[in-house]
A = this chain, B = another copy of it.
Amino acid sequence: MKEQINIGIIGGSGYTGLELVKILKGHKYASISFLTSRTYKNKDVGEVFPSIQGSDKDGLVFKETATKNDYKKIDLLFLCLPPHSSMEHVKNNIDNKDLKIIDIGSDFRINDPGSYKTWYGKDHVVPELLKDFAYGLPELNSGLIKKSTYVANPGCYPTSILLGLAPLLKAGHKLDHISIDSKSGVSGAGRKLAQPYLFGSLNNNFYSYSPQNHRHIGEMEQEIKKISGQDYKVDFTPHLLPVNRGIFSSIYCKVQEDLPDDFGESITKEYSDFYKNSIFVKILNDGIPQLKDVVGTNRCLIGISFDERTSTLKIFSVIDNLLKGAAGQAVQNMNLMFGLKEDEGLASDGIYG
> Is A51 engaged at the interface, CB distance under 8 Å to the other chain?
yes
* A289→B51 CA distance, assembly (Å): 10
Oligomer copy total: 4
Which one of B211, B233, B288 contacts A207 once the chains associate, using CB atoms below 8 Å? B288
Contact A244 B348, beta carbon cutoff 8 Å: no
| Contact A296-B204, Cβ < 8 Å, known A199-B186, A309-B233, A312-B235 | no
Query: Is A53 in contact with chain B by the CB < 8 A criterion?
Result: yes
**Interface flag for A263 (CB, 8 Å):** no
B211 touches A307 (CB 8 A): yes
Contact of A310 among B18, B177, B291, B301 (CB under 8 A): B177
Min CB gap A295→B, angstroms: 7
Q: Is A290 an interface residue (CB 8 A)?
A: yes
Within the assembled complex, what's the spacing in Å between the Cα atoms of A318 and B208? 11
A window 223-256: CB within 8 A of B: 233-235, 237, 239, 241-246, 248, 250, 252, 254
What CA separation (Å) do A53 and B347 show in the bound complex? 7
Which B residues lie within 8 Å of A197 (CB)?
198-200
A301 touches B195 (CB 8 A): no
* Pick from B50, B203, B282, B291: contact of A301, CB under 8 Å: B50
Is A279 on the interface with B (CB-CB < 8 A)? yes
Checking B179, B200, B233 against A191 with a beta-carbon cut-off of 8 angstroms, the contacting residue is: B200
- Once the chains bind, are B204 and A292 in contact (CB under 8 Å)? yes
Are A252 and B279 in contact, CB atoms less than 8 angstroms apart?
A: no
Verify if A183 is at the interface (C-beta below 8 Å from B).
yes
Assess whether A129 is interfacial by the CB under 8 Å rule: no
* Contact (A205, B50) CB under 8 Å given A314-B211, A348-B348: no
Q: Are B351 and A296 in contact (CB under 8 A)?
A: yes
Indicate if the CB atoms of B352 and A208 lie closer than 8 Å: no
Q: Is the CB of A314 within 8 A of B237?
A: yes
For A26, what are the chain B residues with a Cβ–Cβ distance below 8 Å?
347
Q: In this complex, which of A25, A198, A298, A299 has the most chain B Cβ atoms within 10 angstroms of its Cβ?
A: A198
A window 173-209: CB within 8 A of B: 176-177, 179, 181, 183, 186-187, 191, 193-195, 197-209
Contacts of A107 in B (CB 8 A): none
Q: Is the CB of B199 within 8 A of A352?
A: no
Shortest Cβ gap from A327 to chain B (Å): 11
> Would you call B200 and A198 a contact (CB within 8 A)?
no
Bound complex: CA of A186 vs CA of B198, how far in Å? Answer: 9
Selected contact of A237 from candidates B209, B234, B237, B250, CB within 8 Å: B250
Please name the residue on chain B nearest to A243 by beta carbon: B204
Kindly supply a per-residue 1/0 record for chain A positions 326-353, scoring 1 wherever the CB is within 8 Å of any chain B CB and 0 otherwise.
Answer: 0000000000000000000001111111
Q: How far is the CA of A207 from the CA of B284 in the complex (A)?
A: 14
Docked-complex contact A199 and B203, CB < 8 angstroms: yes
Can you name 10 extra interface pairs (CB under 8 A) apart from A176-B176, A244-B352? A51-B350, A199-B202, A199-B203, A204-B291, A205-B243, A208-B316, A235-B310, A235-B312, A239-B250, A242-B242
**A-B contacts, 10 listed (Cβ < 8 Å):** A19-B353, A179-B252, A183-B183, A191-B195, A198-B198, A199-B244, A206-B290, A208-B288, A211-B305, A211-B316
